[in-house]
């Protein structure tokens, strides 16, 4: 059986947090926390694929949390779910690695579609990274083979010259 994708919902509001959990729980492994400090602690100890993140919370701001999450696990997809937000906040979140934004109040169909797209994006990005790694490995292997051939050729040439002398 395939592993369900793991989602962390970060929101200081119990209503939005629980609504998101109920919408996503049937399809994903869902965890919830109330603030940025808890989110950072959770992510440092657990594998998470996607985070929904409120921007306005006590303590660390959503932008600060986003930046810390990306330092800990750069491949995590982050969807901003602000209670109220400005265009400036959204632009800043996207600049720091958020992939989408859903405003509150939200609709279940929008959440499901946006989260689905984010998981597809993550899957493609991981496949691309894997292919790049394979190419780099092949290139390294090819380079090592060429160096071995060059060394062999140098030794063979030296021996044939010695035999001629």
Per residue in 29-59, pLDDT (tens digit) is 999 999 999 999 999 999 999 999 998 888 8
Q: How many domains does the chain have?
A: 1
Would you state the pLDDT for residue 130?
87
Query: Which residue is listed with tokens 């303590």?
Result: 59
pLDDT in tens, 81-118: 887 766 777 788 888 889 888 888 888 999 999 999 99
Is residue 146 included in any domain, yes or no?
A: no
In which domain, by residue range, is 71 found?
6-127
Would you state the pLDDT for residue 88?
79
pLDDT in tens, 113-149: 999 999 999 988 889 888 888 888 777 776 655 555 5
Residues contacting residue 56 through CB under 8 Å, at least 6 positions apart: 62, 82, 83, 84, 85
Is residue 151 included in any domain, yes or no?
A: no
Is residue 24 included in any domain, yes or no?
A: yes
Residues in the chain: 165
Is residue 29 included in any domain, yes or no?
A: yes
Is residue 145 included in any domain, yes or no?
A: no
Helices then strands, each counted (H, E), the chain = 5, 5
Residues contacting residue 38 through CB under 8 Å, at least 6 positions apart: 10
Query: Which residue is listed with tokens 């169909």?
Result: 109
Is residue 92 included in any domain, yes or no?
A: yes
Query: What's the pTM?
Result: 0.76
Is residue 106 included in any domain, yes or no?
A: yes
Give me the CATH number covering residue 86: 3.40.50.2300
Is residue 137 included in any domain, yes or no?
A: no
């Amino acid at each position: 059986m395939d592993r369900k994708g793991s989602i962390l919902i970060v929101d200081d509001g119990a209503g939005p947090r629980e609504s998101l959990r109920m919408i996503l729980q049937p399809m994903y492994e869902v965890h919830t926390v109330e603030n940025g400090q808890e989110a950072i602690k959770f992510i440092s100890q657990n594998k998470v694929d996607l985070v929904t993140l409120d921007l306005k919370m006590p303590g660390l701001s959503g932008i600060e949390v986003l930046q810390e999450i990306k330092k800990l696990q750069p491949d995590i997809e982050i969807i901003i779910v602000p209670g109220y937000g400005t265009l400036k906040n959204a632009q800043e979140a996207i600049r720091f690695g958020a992939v989408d934004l859903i405003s509150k109040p939200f609709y279940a169909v929008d959440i499901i579609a946006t989260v689905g797209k984010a998981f597809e994006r993550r899957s493609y990005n991981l496949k691309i990274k894997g292919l790049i790694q394979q190419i780099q490995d092949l290139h390294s292997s090819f380079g090592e083979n060429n160096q071995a051939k060059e060394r062999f050729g140098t030794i063979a040439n030296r021996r044939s010259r010695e035999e001629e002398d």
